[in-house]
Amino acid sequence: MSTSLWLRTARAYTRNSRKQSALLARTFASTSCRNEINKVFPSASEALKDMKPDTTVLCGGFGLCGVPDTLIDEVANKPELRGLTAVSNNAGTDESGLGKLLKTKQIRKMIASYIGENKTFEKMYLTGEVELELTPQGTLAERCASGGKGIPAFYTPAAFGTVVQTGELPLRNNPDGTPKELSYPKDVKVFEGKPYLLEESIRGDYAFVKAWKADKLGNCQFRLAANNFNGAMGRNAKMTIVEAENIVEPGEIPPEAVHLPGIYVKRVIHLQQSENGILGLGPYPQKGLEDADLINAGKETVTLNPGAAVFGSEESFGMIRSGRVNLTILGAMQVSGNGDLANWMLPGKIKGFGGAMDLVSNPSMTRVVVTMEHCDKKGNAKIVKQCEFPLTGKACVSRIITELGVFDVDFTKGLTLIEIADVVTVDEIKSKTDAPFNVADDLKLML
């Protein structure tokens, strides 16, 4: 409250005590009493009764972890809800998650980072049945988080020098697989000598969120890695609907355990069926001890080491882009002699970026190591002079490890072979490597 407003209120209070109640009510009023608020709806059908076609829906989840299946299933039961723009890291599988809405042709456009093994999604995109705005995973998380904070756009280093920046990424294809509509070139600016590209934030009409616990005020608690995109998306939309495994009374969720405050949530339902943000990843669980809310970037169930932490996807990729992760290890389809990386698309096939573009966006702070087979299935070299496939990152790979040897990469001077496998000769490696390379004076045997 401003000083002048406080003084006016105090003077009025002292002049006429009978006006005390009315004046204070006017000055400090809230819209409704806290104990009268109940955001719980009896069913998903009731919670979605006023949803319209042609809306933008943000859908939390990563793989099959933290996915609001009850709400998705209810949309599938409402065939009139068509022309949807769905925003999600991926579209689940052919039979689950948003894959169901792709099969029913209710989704017109997907904004996602990864297609993965969803054959329905891949086929529909390649044949022009659905539009796809493919976005690096960390950028997608930040577009949702920024939109929820009222920030219209932001600059990121991820995807500089790729088709995302140049505007050569097909948004929609013709039935024969040729591009019908391309993305637009991104504005690029240089900050402290490093290029960044401008990304626009996303604003959703609806957000579907899955929580472990929610109270009647809408406060939510996520469980372990199920936070993923749910937190950022839940803060974004005009109408956030939460499906919760457990609905509890206000106060049962400790204040410090509230991951999504109720101010962002409009409706809560009880679900009918019961990268990604982990530091301190442990080994695979023993059989029978798997936890669906604890998965790694490959969607495999994992465990946590002592001292581990879990958090949302937007924070996970913030750590990565800011250089707080010292080392990242990826696979590749091709790596060039100057460290360019291509690992997300082959002709006629597409998996998507996932988080790879973010992982390689700060090579001066995060060392990028590629582990791969030396040649592809057809015997073609994967270490090449220049990548033929669309890039994941430019001049970002600092070491290449294959079954034949280990190369260090200098972004200007090229490759140096520093280790060689047993029973392998330098001449054999040269015959299977398209890019030229030097041999270290102290060439060592691979362990």
Write down the residue that tokens 């015997």 correspond to: 379
CA distance between the termini of the chain: 68
Q: Token pair for residue 440?
A: 């270290």
Is 131 within 8 Å of 170 (Cβ atoms)?
Answer: no
Which residue in the list 275, 290, 300, 403 is annotated as catalytic? 275
Record the tokens describing residue 403, joined without a space.
């079954």
Nearest to 50 by CA among 236, 235, 239: 239
Contacts with 104 (C-beta within 8 Å, 6 or more apart), sequence order: 76, 79
Q: What is the DSSP string of 367-425?
A: EEEEE--SB-TTS-BSEESS--SPPSBSS-EEEEE-SSEEEEEETTTEEEEEEE-TT--
Residues forming a β-bridge with 417: 407, 439
DSSP label of 255:
G
Active site residue 275: yes
Contact (Cβ atoms closer than 8 angstroms) between residue 197 and residue 162: no
| Dihedral pair phi/psi, residue 416, rounded to 5° | -135, 125
Query: Are the CB atoms for 222 and 211 separated by under 8 Å?
Result: yes
| Cα 278 to chain centroid, rounded | 13
Q: For residue 402, which phi and psi values (nearest 5 degrees)?
A: -125, 180
Torsion of CA 207, 272, 120, 143, to 10 degrees: 20
Pairing of strands 327-330, 267-270: unpaired
Burial class (CB in 10 A: 0-12, 13-18, 19+), 11: exposed
Amino acid letter for position 383: I
Q: Where are the beta strands (DSSP E) in 263-303?
A: 267-270, 278-281
- Residue positions annotated with a catalytic role: 275
